[in-house]
Amino acid sequence: MATSDTAASTASVDSSSAQASSASTHDTQGGEQTYRDFAAWVAAFRQEAANAGIDEVTLAAAFDQVSFQPRIIELDRSQPEFSRPVWAYLDTAVSEQRVRQGRAKLDAHRDAAIRAENRYAVPAEILTAIWGVESNYGSYFGHFSTINALATLGFEGRRQDFARHELLAALKILQSGDIDRDHMRGSWAGAMGHTQFLPSSFLAYAVDADGDGRRDIWGSIDDVMASTAHYLEEAGWQAGQPWGTEVILPDDFDYSQTELAVRHSSAAWRAQGVTAREGTLPTFDAASVIAPAGARGPAFLVGPNFRAIMRYNASTSYALAVVTLAERIAGGDGIQGDWPREVEPLSRTQVKDMQGRLNALGFSTGGPPDGIVGPNTRKGLRAFQRSQGMTADGFPTPALLDSVREASAR
């Protein structure tokens, strides 16, 4: 999901938050009081949007038939107990069927993809891969009304200010005439079109590449390809550079360096014994080594273009899916190393238990337990592993949780 880093001021709209009650005070099934409160919130937001420059014709089109969507609140609140391991995500995102479809889609729309590549220097295969991962090449980019979704989330979602900001951006898109309300559809969270732009990203990066006077990421593949390429260019895409490469790490490698925040030149990584699985290391001034499944899984040297893709979606698994799918579409083999598929993922409850025990043992995970494995949790895990004479890769497993529990019981 593309997210904009250029956030316009939402002060005039945020004042409407006073009209919204917290999520805990509402009946998400859409009780009568909820609908009355929602109507009052819409009225307040409508006035604030008018003060921000949205004309009455657009406001009427957007809000005269707006409706509260209980299902969207359910989706917003749901947090899966188990997260998918990276290899399971890649199995779906880079399936053989998706590779075949990607090659066929690129063949069918090669002219549009090459025009975007020539203009923004982002390879056609990368653009096609983002299209594939975001919406399965347009076969499903969501059926929710963007206005209804963002109004619902602005009224009662977990990130109300964010949703109100995106709703104002959506109104600006309607006012510009790029799309009408009925056709402005996408995910429950407000992402739109073939490559899932949020409204603020649309305003910042969408391009009318086919010259019809509209930026149409729902119906024009020319516009889709150019808009996606423009986003990546602005995110720091460097022409002519690879995203990175799969690497082999030496047995004594310090896994505390496997964080995106740690950056060295390719020469410095080479001096530590990092080698390319195939060929030679690409030349980077500032590259990171990542090992998404710890010491037992594949490792990668990634450069600025990998980071640009993560500006589109801040997930290592997502960026790996995009670059791997792009390589497969281009005829490459994809990831060669083996994933530790026998390892069961920890649940959020298990991760919270592990974090609490690590904190109590003096191996800080950066704060109170939240069930999310991030850099601070990995740092605490590595410190614990070192204390136990283990390979300190920071990768949480059921066996490692058992070791933490045993240590905390002593």
| pLDDT tens profile 282-336 | 999 999 999 999 999 999 999 999 999 999 999 999 999 999 999 999 999 999 9
The reply to whether 327 belongs to the active site is no
Q: Return the pLDDT at 30.
A: 57
Is it the case that residue 3 has pLDDT exceeding 60? no
Q: How far is CA 39 from CA 44, 55, 61, 65, 185, in A?
A: 9, 19, 15, 11, 21
Express each pLDDT in 213-226 by its tens digit.
Answer: 999 999 999 999 99
Q: Return the pLDDT at 79.
A: 75
Residue 122 binned pLDDT confidence (cut-offs 50, 70, 90):
very high
Angle, CA of 160, 161 and 166, to the nearest 5°: 95
Q: Return the pLDDT at 23.
A: 36
Rounded CA-CA distance 376/40 in Å is 42
Tokens of 320: 């790996």
- Tell me the average pLDDT across 29-54: 92
In whole numbers, what is the pLDDT of the chain averaged over residues?
92
- Tell me the average pLDDT across 171-177: 98
Are 41 and 16 in contact by the 8 Å Cβ rule? The answer is yes
Is it the case that residue 12 has pLDDT exceeding 50? no
Angle, CA of 345, 347 and 353, to the nearest 5°: 120
Cβ neighbours for 222, distance < 8 A, ≥ 6 positions apart = 112, 115, 116, 209, 210
Is it the case that residue 9 has pLDDT exceeding 50? no
% of the chain beyond a pLDDT of 90:
89
% of the chain beyond a pLDDT of 70:
93
**Number of neighbours of residue 180 by Cβ within 10 angstroms:** 9
Identity (one letter) of the amino acid at 32? E
Rounded CA-CA distance 351/406 in Å is 15
Rounded CA-CA distance 341/88 in Å is 9
Are 147 and 103 in contact by the 8 Å Cβ rule? The answer is no
- Tell me the average pLDDT across 108-122: 98
- Tell me the average pLDDT across 49-78: 96
Q: Return the pLDDT at 129.
A: 98
Are 33 and 227 in contact by the 8 Å Cβ rule? The answer is no
Are 197 and 191 in contact by the 8 Å Cβ rule? The answer is yes
Rounded CA-CA distance 49/147 in Å is 13
Cβ neighbours for 143, distance < 8 A, ≥ 6 positions apart = 185
Q: How many CA atoms lie within 13 A of 291 on its CB side?
A: 24
Is it the case that residue 38 has pLDDT exceeding 50? yes
Q: Return the pLDDT at 338.
A: 97
Residue 29 binned pLDDT confidence (cut-offs 50, 70, 90):
low
- Tell me the average pLDDT across 334-346: 96
Angle between helix 146-156 and helix 32-51 axes, rounded to 10 deg = 100
Q: Return the pLDDT at 157.
A: 78
Residue 392 binned pLDDT confidence (cut-offs 50, 70, 90):
very high
Is it the case that residue 82 has pLDDT exceeding 70? yes
Residue 81 binned pLDDT confidence (cut-offs 50, 70, 90):
confident
Of 47, 230, 209, 6, residue with least CA distance to 112: 209
Q: Return the pLDDT at 78.
A: 87
- Tell me the average pLDDT across 256-262: 97
Q: Return the pLDDT at 1.
A: 64
Residue 54 binned pLDDT confidence (cut-offs 50, 70, 90):
very high
The pair phi, psi for residue 264, each rounded to 5°, is -135, 165
Tokens of 100: 């075949």
Q: Return the pLDDT at 2.
A: 61
Rounded CA-CA distance 129/146 in Å is 24
Are 266 and 283 in contact by the 8 Å Cβ rule? The answer is yes
SS3 (DSSP) at 247: strand
Could you give the residue ranges of the DSSP H alpha helices within 7-67? 11-14, 32-51, 56-63
Cβ neighbours for 265, distance < 8 A, ≥ 6 positions apart = 284, 285, 286, 287
Express each pLDDT in 347-371 by its tens digit.
Answer: 999 999 999 999 999 999 999 999 9
Of 352, 356, 348, 369, residue with least CA distance to 80: 348
Is it the case that residue 22 has pLDDT exceeding 70? no
Active-site residue, selected from the candidate residues 48, 117, 134, 156:
134
